[in-house]
Structure 1
């Protein structure tokens, strides 16, 4: 299946699709290699077998008003609905309104040089915050950013917080038809072009020189697919995959190797993430006066400390989220044990025995992103002192290799779908500029 084209794109996630779409519309012949059997990457939507409700195994929320993403949603004819952003908090055995417990966000966003781990920043504010605020700040950094506070960069998180505020804050919305529908215009446009999107195509070696690239690929089962030759390549693989070493599944070997990129990747991390999706016989949280108003439920200190409903969709699902050290610990457990711990957390939140929750439970699904060989985690985490490593990762190599993906966004939108889309468009501009 040898193939020749102008540009080969590694990865059909949001950034890869955006880059390929822009290059193809500019008249270039593009080949996109995607290891999975589907497009989207960390946008992974499935639908409930009973009523078709879209369920997001990966990216779920639209934060603020990112123009590049909302423009694509309008192009797709997708309706975006505002989530119920009212938060309940379990503290010292009592569930109560918790919106005011996020006052620490201003201090996170105001962090100034020198860069230091978030744990040091938390210690500096120990006298300013209550015990609850300090606990919530730690839980927020570990959950929302999938980071370990002992290593995560306070300056990187401050930059992301400020970027979110400039986009309209972190109040979330969702695609009512599913996140995958947002990317459909990009997929449709590429599918109309023969021999452009290649699924079950795992890039295993990129041999490059200023004269061009040769990408050797195989199927996930190990069957050789031949060589894809192009003048240039756009690499949109996640940090977790780029850090993997052959013969690990999904690992890519660059020949000659890229020492600057390798050093940058060694300084970055892939944040652990896990989601648990539970469907109950009825939405009992909406049937109770004390929990009806809330769309988010927080239990700091628990293995799955954050839960939410699918509002504004009417649904019988609760979604649990764990990031950072908690997600890493859960990854070592069997799925049945993850379910048990999930129900124990919900039992504490809603004052229900685990057996009663089991009786109400109809279906459950655990999505462990650490076990996805073509992702190896949630999204990029920047340790203290490593902000400049992202700039090195994003830099083109000899007008031949170009890099995109959420980890290469340099203005604070890393870890987001709209950030990934923006980097794909940026890489396409760089290619076309050559």
Structure 2
């Protein structure tokens, strides 16, 4: 197979990049390991046609997010702010307002970090120890950071967290959902593109001005390639890059090893009972992450990261343990039977390896090194390339794909 450009990965960044290149008249082939497009955009559609639930990217952040224009303003729904909010701590279920009683709740502590993260090299954990007070305040804040960033606070760069938020202010305020599911965005981006699904790239041979991608189905040749898979996919050898300059390639793989993704596990549990109210529960104890249900619906959605992801992964393997957790985070589920379970295990997915890439202390230079093109032939996109400068959400992935396309177009224009 022959093309002008090969794009590895049909997530948001790969589709945005391929779409931009396609609009410029280039022939582009997108190779995707999965049997669907979207990457970490993954929507669960209930069998009865009920409202979709997101097992990957959760919401569209900001009224000026580019997703609004891509899917159409008429398909955007404002996420309601009026919702019953609970927390679980020490096994008990309480109103989330307890986090504000004489204390600073986690979201206010994080806002303080955004304003003044402190000196270079300081971790978010160190910042919390310097600015927190009561035991519950610090404990809740640490779990908040784990669920927000899929990483331990002591590994998170305070400056990286603050820089990511500052870099995303242009998208504005508010949270929105895509009517019909977030996967609609991926399907719209994919329209008109040549995408080979279930066809992972196993090896890329790179020479100046020429690449060959070996996949499970054959070989695709092109003038250049854009890699959008997470760094660990290269570091673990699932995608091999071969060719001169070998020292640059070796350095790229070494950089990839310094950029692990945090663990993530999401699941929809369907019950024999419908929820009486719209509820969100924050599990401070670290067993379930953020848990949601909607009035009149039988599903409970768990979105767990960092240690909570592995805890939830273990819990769902035991029916009694899952029932106990459900009753703790959502007391209305007591006595209900589980009749369905659909999971997205991002931490065990070989083509994702986790939720997303957090800005880690001591790795500030890794993002620049990972993002840099190789010999004007191999280019890089994906949320990992914007770590610490933008939030690792869909808008950052889209922007990275557009940026990689622009870099490639400039090179091709000068050949």
When normalised by structure 2's length, the TM-score is 0.88
Which residue of structure 2 lines up, in the alignment, with residue 135 of structure 1? Answer: 139
Residue in 1 that maps onto 2:354: 377
Structure-2 change in CA distance of 1:108 and 1:31 (3 Å): same
CA distance in 1, matches of 2:259, 2:24: 33
1:221 is matched with none
Please give the secondary structure, in 2, of the residue aligned with 1:104. Answer: helix
Per the alignment, residue 309 of structure 2 pairs with: 327
Report how far residue 141 of structure 1 moved.
Answer: 1.1
List aligned pairs for 1:51-90, cutoff 5 A. 51-74=49-72, 78-84=75-81, 86=83, 87-90=85-88
- Take 1:71 and 1:142, find their aligned partners in 2: how far apart are those partners? 31
Specify the alignment match of 2:372 in structure 1: 395
SS in 1 for 2:40: coil
Deviations 1:122-149 (A, max 9, x none): 21123xx333321221011111111012
- 1:57–1:367 contact (8 Å) kept in structure 2: yes
Q: Which is worse superposed, 82-91 or 151-160? A: 82-91
Q: In structure 2, what is the Cα distance between the partners aligned to 1:116 and 1:37?
A: 42
Deviation at residue 352 of structure 1 after TM alignment: 5.7
What residue in structure 1 maps to residue 220 of structure 2? Answer: 228
Alpha-carbon contact 2:202-2:213 (below 8 Å) kept: yes
Change (3 A) 1:353 1:47: closer
Distance 1:351 1:411 in 2: 38
Matched residue, 1:113: 119
Cα contact 1:299–1:349 (8 A) shared by 2: yes
Q: Structure 1 regions of 5+ residues with no counterpart?
A: 191-195, 219-224, 287-293
Q: Which residue of 2 aligns with 1:291?
A: none
Task: Report how far residue 411 of structure 1 moved.
Answer: 6.1
Identify the residue that residue 177 of structure 2 maps to in structure 1: 174
User: 2:62, 2:49 → 1: CA distance?
Assistant: 29
RMSD value over aligned CA atoms? 2.4
Question: Offset at 1:229?
Answer: 0.6
Contact 1:85–1:172 (8 Å) recurs in 2? no
Is 1:297 the counterpart of 2:281? The answer is yes
Q: What are the Cα deviations for residues 60-103 of structure 1, in whole angstroms up to 9, with x where unaligned?
A: 2112234322211218x633332446432234635114374232
Task: Answer whether contact 2:359 2:388 (CA < 8 A) is retained.
Answer: no
- Name which of 417, 420, 427 aligns with 2:394: 417
Contact 2:150–2:305, Cα closer than 8 Å, also in 1 = yes
Provide closer, same or farther for how the CA distance between residues 334 and 106 of structure 1 changes in structure 2, counting only shifts above 3 A: closer
Q: Given the alignment of the two structures, is residue 357 of structure 1 paired with residue 343 of structure 2, yes or no?
A: no
CA distance in 2 between partners of 1:351 and 1:47 (Å): 25
Residue deviations 1:354-405 (CA, integer Å, cap 9, x gap): 5x133xx332223211221211111112320212211111111121111000
CA contact (8 A) 2:122 2:361 kept: yes
Distance 1:155 1:7 in 2: 36
Q: Give the TM-score normalised by structure 1.
A: 0.85
Query: CA contact under 8 A between 1:63 and 1:173: conserved in structure 2?
Result: yes
The answer to whether the 8 Å contact 2:93/2:328 transfers is no
